[in-house]
Chain A
């Protein structure tokens, strides 16, 4: 195990009776990483997060937080963990201060440091002016912030956020996003969402889960931004003829269309046009395109490869 990996999941599997909710999930998160967990509704995101935070025992597999097993010493491991579930776990009858004070105590913050921890968490989440308001009277956005403050009050190494921007208005979403980006500098964050731009905006790494299985795991800039060349010809050449410098792979699509995967920095457009003129391929269309997260997502979760061609 890497010494700097803060949370590591090994072969996490969870079954509900005969149904497989999550199968063989492995993940490692290092300090300062923001990991986006992406998947369609019901893919197993929340189940994975519940297992990562010790709210649900995995059928098999284990989670290590700073090398401490969540199965063997849950209390020790949970010290380094902050969790915001899908619905913020707040008590409507308490004020923000009372609630955060309780959360600080729950995480073993001593009486003397408690006031400071509460003040810091409120400042980070923009709650300072709401200190003595009843949580039940706050708007959904502010309740979400209270939930977030609860997750970071003990300055954990790992923060797990389950769909933190659900049900918020666009301005609140932006605020929460920038807050998460801010948190990502000093903590490791795992974030789940089914909103693609959100993941692209705040995460350094993305994992896509579909039907309980991990289908994609990469740094945002590794595959994203990777360029492809789409070309369509009236008289389709053989795929081998399109192997220009910098072309890594040639996919053949319908109706004389080709998708050329390019190496970083390669741009064989001029070469291709020249060849097309000389050999009489009849070039109909030529366009450089970047793969977006959305394309990868649709491709991996729809189970229909031709969709990529359509996109």
Chain B
């Protein structure tokens, strides 16, 4: 566990000393801020109708987090592309491979390091609705569930991206590959609109089917389990991929 922690701290440090992380945080904050202001204005214009159906927490929180998910789908591949591809390209992966740590520890360490970035993103997103606290009575539980959902989805993006990154030595290829994979899993539900034998399976597998409720604060444990399984699957695949590399 000590090794996992060491690698995680190292990874987090490398993420936050790179300008990429700060650029991503800055750009996404501008977009989220813009969406947030848009939501606020929309709410102010027709708060009477909005209040009847949803309420301010759901309207602004749910709306903001829904948009955030799509933006994160676009930027997470940029954050995960370096994890293994760049290390392989600059020959630093050797350092980890010749150290007395297991592949599982390496993969977990890198993943937890990445989660520190995901955590920072989610915290910044939490700050926006929280700015309303002095003026409005917010449903904190609902917002909390939304943030948890957002964290889980971003975590799944990260795990899938890390796996793709372990396949190649070109970070850009890792980025486009992860983006393609995520979008594909996201859209798995599309053919499920037509009634065929796979409808329920495809619907279950699609990333999109599980996030709508969570984002708006409805907490189903089956959705949480879906994201945890999704993450575990890709972490396991990454370990397998690294093991193949040595053979």
Residues of A participating in the B interface, judged by any CB pair closer than 8 Å: 53-57, 74-79, 81, 83, 85-87, 89-94, 98, 102-103, 105-108, 150
A106 touches B102 (CB 8 A): no
Cβ-based interface call for B92 (8 A)? yes
Q: Which residues does chain B contribute within 8 Å of A74, judged by CB atoms? A: 100, 102
Cβ-based interface call for B220 (8 A)? no
22 contacts between A and B (CB under 8 A): A54-B97, A54-B246, A55-B98, A74-B100, A75-B101, A77-B100, A78-B98, A78-B100, A79-B100, A85-B94, A91-B14, A92-B90, A94-B13, A94-B17, A98-B13, A102-B6, A103-B95, A105-B2, A105-B6, A106-B7, A108-B2, A108-B100
Q: How far is the CA of A190 from the CA of B164 in the complex (A)?
A: 36
Residue of B nearest to A105 (CB): B6
Q: How far is the CA of A90 from the CA of B247 in the complex (A)?
A: 24
Q: How far is the CA of A57 from the CA of B247 in the complex (A)?
A: 5
Q: Which residues does chain A contribute within 8 Å of B17, judged by CB atoms? A: 93-94
Q: Which residues does chain A contribute within 8 Å of B100, judged by CB atoms? A: 74-79, 106-108
Q: Which residues does chain B contribute within 8 Å of A90, judged by CB atoms? A: 92
Q: Which residues does chain A contribute within 8 Å of B102, judged by CB atoms? A: 74-75
Residues of B participating in the A interface, judged by any CB pair closer than 8 Å: 2-3, 6-7, 10, 13-14, 17-18, 90-102, 246-247
Instruction: Report which of A56, A79, A89 forms a contact with B92, defined as CB distance below 8 A.
Output: A89
Q: Which residues does chain B contribute within 8 Å of A106, judged by CB atoms? A: 3, 6-7, 95-96, 99-101
Instruction: Report which of B10, B94, B247 forms a contact with A83, defined as CB distance below 8 A.
Output: B94
Q: How far is the CA of A87 from the CA of B88 in the complex (A)?
A: 12
Q: How far is the CA of A74 from the CA of B101 in the complex (A)?
A: 8
If A91-B14, A94-B17, A98-B13 touch, whether A55 touches B99 (CB-CB below 8 Å) is no
Q: Which residues does chain B contribute within 8 Å of A57, judged by CB atoms? A: 246-247
Q: Which residues does chain A contribute within 8 Å of B10, judged by CB atoms? A: 102, 105
Contact residues of A: prevailing secondary structure: loop
Q: How far is the CA of A39 from the CA of B7 in the complex (A)?
A: 36
Q: Which residues does chain A contribute within 8 Å of B93, judged by CB atoms? A: 89
Q: How far is the CA of A157 from the CA of B98 in the complex (A)?
A: 14
Q: Which 3 A-B pairs have the closest CB atoms?
A: A105-B6, A89-B95, A78-B100
B14 touches A93 (CB 8 A): yes
B18 touches A93 (CB 8 A): yes
Q: How far is the CA of A102 from the CA of B2 in the complex (A)?
A: 12
Q: Which residues does chain A contribute within 8 Å of B3, judged by CB atoms? A: 105-106, 108
Instruction: Report which of A83, A92, A94 forms a contact with B98, defined as CB distance below 8 A.
Output: A83
Q: How far is the CA of A75 from the CA of B106 in the complex (A)?
A: 12
Q: How far is the CA of A76 from the CA of B100 in the complex (A)?
A: 7
Q: How far is the CA of A111 from the CA of B102 in the complex (A)?
A: 20
Residue of B nearest to A104 (CB): B6
Q: Which residues does chain A contribute within 8 Å of B14, judged by CB atoms? A: 91, 93-94
Q: How far is the CA of A54 from the CA of B101 in the complex (A)?
A: 11
If A94-B17, A98-B13, A108-B3 touch, whether A89 touches B101 (CB-CB below 8 Å) is no
Nearest CB on B from A121, distance (A): 14
Nearest CB on A from B182, distance (A): 27
Q: Which residues does chain A contribute within 8 Å of B98, judged by CB atoms? A: 53-55, 78, 81, 83
B13 touches A89 (CB 8 A): no
Q: Which residues does chain B contribute within 8 Å of A79, judged by CB atoms? A: 100
Q: Which residues does chain B contribute within 8 Å of A105, judged by CB atoms? A: 2-3, 6, 10
Q: How far is the CA of A150 from the CA of B91 in the complex (A)?
A: 14
Q: Which residues does chain A contribute within 8 Å of B247, judged by CB atoms? A: 57
A89 touches B94 (CB 8 A): yes
Q: Which residues does chain A contribute within 8 Å of B2, judged by CB atoms? A: 105, 108
